[in-house]
Amino acid sequence: MPPAEPTLIDRFQRRITYLRLSVTDRCDLRCAYCMPREMVFLPRKDLLTLDELHRLALAFIDRGVRAIRLTGGEPLVRRDVMDLVTALGRHVGQQLDELTLTTNGTHLADKADALASAGVRRVNVSLDTLDRVRFTELTGADRLGAVLDGIAAARDAGLEVKLNVVALRDESSEGRRELIEWAHGHGHSVTLIEVMPMGEVAAGRADQFVPLTEVRRELETRWTLTPSTHRTGGPARYWHIAETGGRIGFITPLSDNFCAGCNRLRVTATGQLHPCLGGTEAVDLRAALRSGGGDQALASALETAMRIKPERHRFAISQGFESGPARHMSVTGG
């Protein structure tokens, strides 16, 4: 079946063709920029069932969504996640251009073959350091080895692996370069992401945040970076590094706003649709699904989402001041 014409169009004429669907808020790591160590997770009964997740995904596909990214929390800790991947994977190459996953990689070694067989071609793995001590300090778990095994398994299964790296003020320039060099040496592109002030964490956001303009300048003291025309339809802007032969993306929500080109929606594991990652707007799709109102209730909830999608996010970080939603990234589905 060919892709459906996009019918989710907001007040600013932005067409929604991309969905981030969170399958759980739970995680086996506690990354310092994402959640506090004592994070309290939602009761399981509040989460959408597998059938509800599937129904929602199909409703978005019917309205012209061409790419779905499963996320969380850590999507691979949800026990039945592979059933969803298998069900949605059947649409890849038809209504869906791609089905992808953002994962911390700790369970990837077990799941890589099944993901590839189900139709996933690409995964984003979040990895901020290659230093085992630093990894353990940053995530609260000594799992660097599992992540590296996961990345190797994904590559062996034929999956393209892209690394997501959150740029942190206290990361050393050597550490950052080592990670980029390693990734490019193994054929993985790297995307650096600015820290966003989402929910409270132990550190102040101003202490974590470093603008990517500064990181790029730091990389340019050693390497030759040239702008690349490569685009993925997302917010990243890419550069090529001559010395490593690889590509690096920069996602700059704070230092360089990209909202005008936004084509995405996010749905949490409890079915809250957030039309903007950095906003407080929400529409309760779980209520619509469970209302007995069938497709009409869902259609009307999605129309509301299109009416309230804001023009741009309101993230801000400066010393002593931060502005962003109270919910953590792991709850929203990053």
Q: Are 134 and 27 within 8 A, CB to CB? A: no
User: Cβ distance 21 to 70 under 8 Å?
Assistant: yes
At 145, list the tokens: 């080895």
Round to whole Å and give the CA distance between 64 and 28.
Answer: 34
- Residue pair 104/50 in contact by the 8 Å Cβ criterion: no
**Which 3 state secondary structure label does DSSP give 58?**
helix
Q: Minimal distance in Å, beta carbon 254 to ligand SAM?
A: 10
Cβ count near 39 (within 10 Å): 18
Instruction: Return the range that interacts with ligand SAM (CB under 6 A); candidates 147-155, 194-202, 265-273, 298-306.
Output: 194-202
The listed partner (ligand SF4, ligand SAM, none) that binds 193, CB under 5 to 8 Å by sort, is ligand SAM
74 binds ligand SAM (CB under 6 A): yes
CA distance 131 to 116: 29
C-beta of 23 vs 65, nearer to ligand SAM: 23
Identity of the amino acid at 320: G
Residue span binding ligand SF4 (CB under 6 A) among the ranges 71-79, 143-151, 236-244, 293-301? 71-79
Window 125 to 154, contacts with ligand SF4 (CB under 6 A)? 126
Report the nearest approach of ligand SF4 to the CB of residue 149 (Å).
Answer: 16
Find the shortest distance in angstroms from Cβ 26 to ligand SAM.
10
Size of the site for ligand SAM (CB under 6 A): 19
Window 19 to 58, contacts with ligand SAM (CB under 6 A): 27, 33-34
100 binds ligand SAM per the rule CB under 6 A: no
Q: Distance (Å, rounded) from C-alpha 195 to C-alpha 267?
A: 21
Q: Output phi, psi for 46, to 5 deg.
A: -80, -15
* Contact of residue 30 among ligand SAM, ligand SF4, none (CB under 5-8 Å per partner type): ligand SF4
Tokens standing for residue 264: 């995405």
Smallest gap from Cβ 23 to ligand SAM, in A, equals 10
Three-state DSSP class for residue 98:
strand
State both tokens at 194: 């600015």
Residue for token pair 């619509």:
288
Q: Name which of 186, 156, 200, 151 is nearest 331 in CA terms.
A: 200
Tell me which residue has its CB nearest to ligand SAM. 334
Which residue from 24, 100, 126, 252 is in contact with ligand SAM, where contact means CB under 6 A? Answer: 126
- x/- site string to ligand SF4, residues 1 to 40, per CB under 6 A? --------------------------x-xxx--xx-----
- Residue 198 binding partner per list ligand SAM, ligand SF4, none, with a CB distance cut-off of 5 to 8 Å that depends on partner kind: ligand SAM
Residue 100 binds ligand SF4 (CB under 6 A): no
Q: Does 268 bind ligand SF4 (CB under 6 A)?
A: no
Cα 67 to Cα 293: distance, rounded to the nearest angstrom: 27
Nearer to ligand SF4, 17 or 103 (CB): 103
Q: Which three-class secondary structure state does DSSP give residue 322? A: strand
Taking the CA atoms of 202, 204, 207 and 210 in sequence, report the sign of the dihedral they define. Answer: positive
Residue matched to tokens 């990389």? 219
Shortest reach from residue 243's CB to ligand SAM, in Å: 25
Binding site for ligand SAM (CB under 6 A): 27, 33-34, 71-72, 74, 102-104, 126, 164, 166, 193, 195-196, 198, 329-330, 334
Binding site for ligand SF4 (CB under 6 A): 27, 29-31, 34-35, 72-74, 104, 126, 330
